[in-house]
Chains A and B, each alone.
Chain A
Amino acid sequence: GAVVSQHPSWVICKSGTSVKIECRSLDFQATTMFWYRQFPKQSLMLMATSNEGSKATYEQGVEKDKFLINHASLTLSTLTVTSAHPEDSSFYICSASRREGLKNEQFFGPGTRLTVL
């Protein structure tokens, strides 16, 4: 299967600072990338859908000024959590979709654990 990486895998930051998380598709080009957050023992929650070269589409209730998404190339999307607060502590997972003919698969990164003190 295709490989999606995320960096960093774990980050601890102070309240009020900003944190950037990178998501890369290593061996394929992804026209669409997705950002999720997941609280312990809960399901994935889609935050936004990101298409290369255009503005991200945010899900209802997700603040676009707080969670800045940049999809600058077909292999890289970044999520910046601005002015992070303890309630932003969560597991953030990205995914990238790969289309081959009729087939459209979604491959996930390993996730980034964010802890805001």
Chain B
Amino acid sequence: QKEVEQDPGPLSVPEGAIVSLNCTYSNSAFQYFMWYRQYSRKGPELLMYTYSSGNKEDGRFTAQVDKSSKYISLFIRDSQPSDSATYLCVYSYTGNQFYFGTGTSLTVIP
């Protein structure tokens, strides 16, 4: 079983829609959860970081963690064409080992 499972998509939504991106993980020791956004031919950019269950909001982005079901989500409200990118969920528990999902490709259609 992979440490992290992420639906690769691709996901295509109209502008203004609410986007839900999801990952599941297998190791209950995971403590840190991160979402990265990667545009084509660019390095990943850290969007959200959380280490507790519940919601964390930053502008149009909300990260949600449910440790009881080992489920993590990223919600994007009022999606924009500029949100079109690949989104990576990442977990860590040792501090120096990071486990990546495969990434979900998102396209927001104007």
Q: Are B42 and A105 in contact (CB-based, < 8 A)?
A: no
Stretch of B19-27, B59-67, B74-82, B92-100 with 4 or more beta carbons under 8 angstroms from chain A: B92-100
Interface 1/0 per residue, A76-117 and B, CB below 8 Å = 000000000000000101010101001111111111010000
Which size bracket describes the interface of A in this complex? 20 to 34
Asked if A104 and B95 make an inter-chain contact with CB atoms under 8 angstroms apart, the answer reads yes
CA of A111 to CA of B45, assembled, Å:
11
Question: What residue in chain B is nearest A38 (Cβ atoms)?
Answer: B38
Residues of B near A93 (CB, < 8 A) are: 43-44
The answer to whether A106 touches B90 (Cβ under 8 A) is yes
Min CB distance B37 to A, Å, is 11
A91, A106, A113: the one within 8 Å of B46 (CB): A106
Say whether chain A's binding surface is mostly helix, strand, loop, or mixed. Answer: strand
How many A-B pairs have beta carbons closer than 8 Å: the answer is 56
* Beta-carbon contact of B43 and A99 below 8 Å: no
Instruction: State whether the Cβ of A49 lies closer than 8 Å to any Cβ in chain B.
Output: yes
Min distance, Cβ A95 to any Cβ of chain B, angstroms: 8
Q: A106-B34, A108-B36 are in contact. Are A44 and B41 (CB under 8 A)?
A: no
A34 within 8 A of B: yes
- Distance, CA A105 to CA B102, complexed state (A): 19
Does A99 contact B46, Cβ atoms closer than 8 Å?
no
Inter-subunit contact A43/B102 (CB<8 Å): yes
Given contacts A93-B44, A107-B46, contact A43 B103 (CB under 8 A): yes
**CB of B88 within 8 A of chain A?**
yes
Chain A residues lying within 8 Å of B44, measured Cβ to Cβ, are 44, 93, 95, 108
Q: How far is the CB of B95 from chain A (nearest CB, A)?
A: 4
Residue of A whose beta carbon sits closest to that of B90: A106
Closest to A99 in B: B95
* Cα distance A112–B99 in the bound complex, in angstroms: 22
Of all A-B residue pairs in the complex, the 9 with the closest CB atoms, nearest first, are A108-B43, A104-B95, A43-B102, A110-B43, A108-B44, A111-B43, A93-B43, A109-B43, A32-B96
